[in-house]
Structure 1
């Protein structure tokens, strides 16, 4: 069964308001949101929708027919997830619901040939949410311990003494705990998912390019979160604990995530240039042999 969408921008406007209200509820109106990296999933939602921007633009303009059956199935499932997240409350369910609702809107309002994009949004959201939800709970403790140990050694060797006892850092009259959010485990899996999604934008990447880019996620996430821990220790020591554990703590989590994305983008660009240079060198050598 098909429908002809009218005023297709209006459902997307409602979706944007829902997403903004959900994000504001767990960030702007929640002073403790910096204790978890889960709000970064809102950033991933935006990135996924940006990847499918051409399909969404078509659905906004109402240029085609959508599939009512599959679209409403996705909308219904997404609405159940979102409502459960609101009632529980559970941010992870709200974000998952937003992914699936966006997929349902696209499946309903965009032409049939864009159905693959709708299911891509739903599937990517499901995978990203589940990975970002389960994996950090299982693996973050060891990484937090390593981050604390390295941070203490680096600061002690250059600035002032810091002692690491497990995941607790002791310096001067202060102490700081390297939590799950500061360890970077959430960022690692979010960046992994994003790097894989990012590859969908182009079919020009070779298999070795993809493997190198994904392999860089772990060191990039660790290094950026190591910088976050060091900056928090320095802010506590030189400015004060109230400043370091307030808005500065929350903003550094977002900042290092964005920096990690930019670093991965630069690595991706470098790999493109290296591949292009190698290809040109190979072509030149081949031409010389022909002569």
Structure 2
């Protein structure tokens, strides 16, 4: 008579390795997370940071069974050590020079390299998305913000002016200043939508990952649609702000900015993303039916 080995025993080897790894990561990155919490995550632009961290941890937890199944293989590779060393150097440099982008970004190569060295590249592939998703914790580089904010502000201003003018509203534009009726509205840096595009990209990629569509072309089109959808949603947010100000006054417009503007943006963007995916789903099902008929 054979006795089945307890599940806990089969998992013990990788757990014994994972526990000190997790402890080391907590020791390294707890000061980083606390610093982010006190500074960058308090801003409206980077307020999504804690959610990104929480979602990544949840995704890791969801993958624990699949990870355990392949972690038994081990697999110590030279490339894994190189990636791990790069992550450590990036962390040390970012921490010592107070470059938060490098410090936060070092999590990705460090986690990937450590998993490859200890558990093999198959294990890395299992948790690849949760690891890469951590990139959205890092703030956007200042160079990208400076180079893209101006063009985005102008584009949003032009779209808002053209659409509202075609709808019959008395609107004019001078640069990034919109004049509607007796009110002048400046499309500020926060209205450029750059940070919103970054956070909405995170939401879009998470949606795509959770949906798990088998069709590659459908996945590719959804990825390509994320930034245009974010831009359209931001332009709609600016137009709603202009209309609220025009119909209800400047005080109501300012209340909209500080109250529900961010929520409106995400609701619009998610609605557009779901609608686009639903349309693609119709073509996807038709394609599947044609293949079945053939």
- Per the TM superposition, whether the score is higher than 0.5 is yes
In structure 2, the CA distance between the partners of 1:157 and 1:263, relative to structure 1 (3 Å rule), is: closer
Aligned to 1:237: 250
Structure 2: unaligned runs, 5 residues or longer: 1-12
Q: Please say if residues 149 and 194 of structure 2, whose CA atoms lie closer than 8 Å, have aligned partners that are also in contact.
A: yes
How far the C-alpha of 1:127 sits from its partner, in A, is 11
Aligned to 2:193: 184
Q: Please say if residues 144 and 182 of structure 1, whose CA atoms lie closer than 8 Å, have aligned partners that are also in contact.
A: yes
Structure 1: unaligned runs, 5 residues or longer: 287-291
Q: Please say if residues 82 and 95 of structure 1, whose CA atoms lie closer than 8 Å, have aligned partners that are also in contact.
A: yes
Indicate which of 247, 268, 274 corresponds to 2:277. 268
Aligned to 2:37: 24
- 1:38-187 → structure 2 map (5 Å cutoff): 54-55=62-63, 64=72, 65=74, 67=76, 74-82=83-91, 84-86=93-95, 88-107=97-116, 110=119, 113-117=122-126, 137-154=146-163, 161-170=170-179, 172=182, 175-179=185-189, 181-187=190-196
CA distance in 2, matches of 1:139, 1:273: 35
Structure with the greater relative contact order (CA < 8 A, sep ≥ 6): 1 or 2? 1
How far the C-alpha of 1:165 sits from its partner, in A, is 1.5
CA distance in 2, matches of 1:103, 1:66: 13
Structure 1 counterpart SS, 2:186:
strand
TM-score w.r.t. length of structure 2: 0.62
Q: Please say if residues 67 and 108 of structure 1, whose CA atoms lie closer than 8 Å, have aligned partners that are also in contact.
A: yes
TM-score w.r.t. length of structure 1: 0.63
Q: Please say if residues 52 and 133 of structure 2, whose CA atoms lie closer than 8 Å, have aligned partners that are also in contact.
A: no
CA distance in 2, matches of 1:57, 1:113: 13
Q: Please say if residues 75 and 101 of structure 1, whose CA atoms lie closer than 8 Å, have aligned partners that are also in contact.
A: yes
Aligned to 1:5: 17
CA distance in 2, matches of 1:74, 1:98: 11
Q: CA-atom RMSD, angstroms?
A: 4.9
CA distance in 2, matches of 1:48, 1:253: 22
Q: Please say if residues 19 and 98 of structure 1, whose CA atoms lie closer than 8 Å, have aligned partners that are also in contact.
A: no
Tell whether 2:235 aligns with 1:226. Answer: yes
In structure 2, the CA distance between the partners of 1:205 and 1:225, relative to structure 1 (3 Å rule), is: same
Instruction: Please say which structure displays the higher CA radius of gyration.
Output: 2
- Deviation track 1:175-230 (CA, whole Å, cap 9, x = no partner) reads 32342x422345546656875786667471143x2443234234311221113323
